[in-house]
Amino acid sequence: MSRDLTIHSAIHDYTVNFVDDFTKSLHGLVTPDDMLLIDANVADLYKDRLQPILIKFPHIIIQATEEKKNYTELVPIIEKLIQLGFRKNNKIFAIGGGITQDIATFIAANLYRGVEWYFFPTTLLAQADSCIGGKASINFGPYKNLLGNFYPPWKIFIDLSFIDTLPRKEIVSGLGEMTHFYFVSGECDYQVMRESYSKAFDDKTTLEKLVHRNLNIKKATIEIDEFDRKERLIFNYGHSFGHAIESVTGYRIPHGIAVSYGMDIANFVSLKMGLIDESQYQKMREVLQFNWQEVPLGNIDINSFLNALRKDKKNIGSEVRVILTRGLGQMFISSLNIDGQADNWIREYFTNQI
């Protein structure tokens, strides 16, 4: 069965192809006028396979850190593109995870008012989630993901063998991010994630099925609401609380793991509000806990956490916008007054639940 997908977009339709050898797809498309943007760790780990391409085609190596995903850090990359004679009809080929993707999307969308670009995601998070949807998020000074736009690649090539070199905590981060799509989807997908989780680490068939299903869950929603105005907002489930965790831990906790803690906090608040009962809460927690083993949360300064939550960019006025749940597949947008009762619930969560 073909696992390839076409994503319909108001900007342009694009495809996702599952491939066995990314170098073949790259060789078939890239020309000497194009530019490769490659994650430094990937360039190093895959140097033998990339060497025949790198000696022939211009490339820029990117350090995949949050510091480098900053607006000012894009300047040297754009300068280099211009210096090397990159033009509007040339193409960018990005090879890396979500950081490389965000940098490539932002530059491809803005340089010469838009150039064609292609993406080879190398992390599980990028393969299963971020590669589709078209979002770019760039940090501005200390503010994470403050600048951005929508500009999907023309084609995406998923080579699951990249996952062989990915550190375990990055695989868990990918599975954590995927868990939130599976929970939003409902009971049936929850069961699939619960049963497949442990196999995903060394069985590529299981991993490919999980990635493919994740992309399909996301595709169904982004095709209705590509620009995050209504239906797609549900995928912020776990994210407001997760971003606050990333912020107060200085990004020590990888994104997908922070989101897994974030989902548990959203579920705990939902439990306290009487939206779900204890058994529903524990049922979801059973799977969420798989994602916590690799990176324990450690001590969280609750006041800093609450302050980070107050500053979330999705907030409107003094209320904190969050996604709560009435159970699997029943997430909904809500707002919390965290100076009121929610303050006590969050304090109780960090004191007793973790």
Residues that bind ligand NAD (CB under 6 A): 39, 41-42, 45, 64, 66, 69, 96-102, 122-123, 125-126, 129-130, 133, 135-137, 145, 162, 165-166, 170, 173, 255
Q: What is the number of the residue whose Cβ is closest to ligand NAD?
A: 98
Distance CA 238, CA 324 (A): 9
Kindly tell me which of 174 and 327 has the beta carbon lying closer to ligand NAD. Answer: 174
* Helix, strand, or coil (residue 258): helix
CB 295 within 8 A of CB 316: no
Report CA Rg, the chain: 20
Residue located via tokens 């069965």: 1
Shortest Cβ distance from residue 159 to ligand NAD (Å)? 9
Residues 6+ apart with CB under 8 A from 39: 61, 62, 64, 95, 96, 97, 99, 100, 122
Residue located via tokens 């606050």: 244
Kindly tell me which of 130 and 280 has the beta carbon lying closer to ligand NAD. Answer: 130
Shortest Cβ distance from residue 167 to ligand NAD (Å)? 6
Sign for the pseudo-dihedral over CA of 291, 294, 298, 300:
negative
* Helix, strand, or coil (residue 66): coil
Kindly tell me which of 118 and 162 has the beta carbon lying closer to ligand NAD. Answer: 162
Shortest Cβ distance from residue 349 to ligand NAD (Å)? 24
Kindly tell me which of 129 and 226 has the beta carbon lying closer to ligand NAD. Answer: 129
**Helix H or strand E segment including 59:** strand 59-62
Shortest Cβ distance from residue 345 to ligand NAD (Å)? 27
Kindly tell me which of 110 and 330 has the beta carbon lying closer to ligand NAD. Answer: 110
Q: Which two tokens stand for residue 40?
A: 């430094």
Shortest Cβ distance from residue 209 to ligand NAD (Å)? 20
* Helix, strand, or coil (residue 95): strand
Shortest Cβ distance from residue 352 to ligand NAD (Å)? 30
Kindly tell me which of 109 and 336 has the beta carbon lying closer to ligand NAD. Answer: 109
Kindly tell me which of 133 and 327 has the beta carbon lying closer to ligand NAD. Answer: 133
Alpha-carbon distance values, 342 to 103, 332, 339, 346 (Å)? 36, 17, 7, 6
Shortest Cβ distance from residue 42 to ligand NAD (Å)? 5
